[in-house]
Amino acid sequence: MKTIKLLYIVTFSMFLFSCTEKQENKAQHPAPVVYDYRDEKNQDAYSRYRRANKVDWVTFNSDEIRKTLGKPTIPDGIHGKIYIHKIEARHQRTLDTFTSKEEMINYYGSKFSKKTCKENNVQGLVCLESKTVYNYFYLPNINTNLSKRTNFPSFLFACDRGGDFNCSTTKIASPLPYNISVRIHFNHPSYIFPILDYIDQHFYNTLGVYLWQPLPNKK
């Protein structure tokens, strides 16, 4: 009987010690803060956008772009989907280091065996092609901005060769302090500038701020 009582006391003591140790570990290593865009304490651009828009994607077509931009001249046939991502910081990319079109063509031509496009060129973009895709590049310090309303950052996208282009951009980052990047799937390379204008206006309508820097108003 004494042995059973002693065993009980030892077991209970070990249990108390274990509880105390867990409490000390919790005090020394507090639980990580779980991010939740629904928490009103998060006032960053991505959190505010998600609370307003509920989802992290947007579909669009020609009618929606015309309505949002107030431009009846937008061509028919545009359609696609935008994916919105949260980013921690804006990273400088290789694209931003090029100082001329020739420098960029030489770099990608020697490293990835890409050649300048013989067809399907788009005004305002540099086009390089491989056997499977067309790659389109926009660099603010090299290319002509066809937007007439927004200063876009550098970006690139690829389109499948064939009947339906099936274009997809890499993530296009917003400048600080906005922690948002977008990735776009769309159906023709020539539609990229009206699509980007639409995205910028969509964010303004949702957040009250432009995702990218607007061009100065002409006097």
Most confident of the following: 4-8, 70-74, 122-126, 160-164: 70-74
pTM of the predicted structure, to 2 decimals: 0.79
Candidate from 27-31, 54-58, 93-97, 177-181 with smallest mean pLDDT: 27-31
Candidate from 6-20, 127-141, 205-219 with smallest mean pLDDT: 6-20
101 confidence band (pLDDT: 50, 70, 90):
confident
Residue 151 pLDDT: 81
Question: DSSP assignment of 174-210, as one string?
Answer: PPTT--EEEEEEES-GGGHHHHHHHHHHHHHHHHSS-
Contact 98, 108 (CB under 8 A): no
- Radius of gyration for the alpha carbons in the chain, expressed in angstroms and rounded: 26
What angle do the packed helices 62-69 and 192-207 form, to 10 degrees? 60
Choice between 60 and 179, residue whose per-residue pLDDT is larger: 60
Largest CA distance in the chain: 98
- Residue 88: Cβ within 10 Å count: 6
Residue 2 pLDDT: 46
Is residue 218 pLDDT above 80, yes or no?
no
Choice between 114 and 194, residue whose per-residue pLDDT is larger: 194
**Is the previous residue joined to 177 through a cis bond, with omega within 30 degrees of 0?**
yes
Tens digits of per-residue pLDDT, 21-74?
555 555 465 667 788 999 999 999 999 999 999 999 999 999 999 999 999 999
Overall residue count recorded for the chain in this entry: 219
